[in-house]
Amino acid sequence: MTEIDEDTWDDIEGLLIQADVGVPTTMMLVDRMRGRVQREGMTRSDQLIEALKEELRDLLMEPTPLNLSGRELSVVLIAGVNGSGKTTSIGKLAYRMRLNDRKVLLAAGDTFRAAAIDQIKLWGERAEVPVVAGMPDSDPGAVVYDAVSAARARNVEVLIVDTAGRLHSNFNLMAELVKVRDVLRKVVPDAPHETLLVLDGTTGQNALTQAKKFQEAIDITGLIVTKLDSTAKGGMLFAIQHELGLPIHYIGIGEAIHDLVFFNPTAFVDSLFENGQEDQE
């Protein structure tokens, strides 16, 4: 006698869709699980759920350390659309690095909005990390060039570069982002050493479209996913890793400066089957 019937499969499908895993990835997982149930002779729902957790964990990469060692100055370029939590994540990342005794400098490369310059300066103060900024509407490439010069003069180890929040569909702003990347390439060997895309965990499958466009423009090396403390389940991470193979380095789980934590695939998968997001530190 088995507990696993068509209603069970409907429930599994509904759980995955509700968690924003996306239809193609959900269908692939359900097909795979049907095969496992038959091969392994599963009869209980709890066995099915544990096996499904295994399959989901297998879709997620263990995050690797950021490539920020072995040179005098390492550069991290941060990109993302408006409202994704990009500047907030930069402040939290700088704070983490300073706590780990890294000497950090921030570059206010988002000159498109005056508020963005003020915001990164505020986060610099909170993190106790200096900021190099220009005037609103100044050339972001020039700001980045000045920031590299300042970083070298101050023996900084890690330069984190903010960029203008942009819609992935805005061709002109995407071209400007490529220009900032090219300036870095000219003035620092092999820079940027990491190019991180900040994605809003509440945007669901639209995040996959964003990731593809940014990946095409500037060769994204990894992700920071924000706002996973809210109602978002963040299931789009499976689709992003499945289709693009990008590692998730950090997730944002709150508003406080210490609420940027290492991505833990096991804890993340467990959280999909619970009401709330687990503490993933």
Give CA angle at 184 (72, 197), nearest 5°: 100
Domain boundaries, the chain: 6-59, 74-272
Q: Where does the pLDDT of residue 280 fall: very low under 50, low under 70, confident under 90, or very high at 90 and above? A: very low
The domain defined by 6-59 folds into: Four Helix Bundle (Hemerythrin (Met), subunit A) (1.20.120)
234 pLDDT above the threshold of 80: no
Over the chain, what is the mean pLDDT?
A: 89
CA–CA gap between residue 29 and residue 36 (Å, rounded): 10
Token code pair at residue 63: 């995050």
Q: Where does the pLDDT of residue 281 fall: very low under 50, low under 70, confident under 90, or very high at 90 and above? A: very low
Decide the pairing of beta strands 194-200 and 260-262: unpaired
Q: Say what the pLDDT of residue 278 is.
A: 40
74-272 matches 6-59 in CATH topology: no
Q: What share of the chain in percent tops pLDDT 90?
A: 61
Q: Say what the pLDDT of residue 169 is.
A: 63
Tell me the pTM: 0.88
Give CA angle at 170 (169, 171), nearest 5°: 105
Q: Strand ranges (DSSP E) for 104-221?
A: 104-107, 131-132, 158-161, 194-200
Token code pair at residue 159: 């330069």
Question: Architecture of domain 74-272 in CATH?
Answer: 3-Layer(aba) Sandwich (3.40)
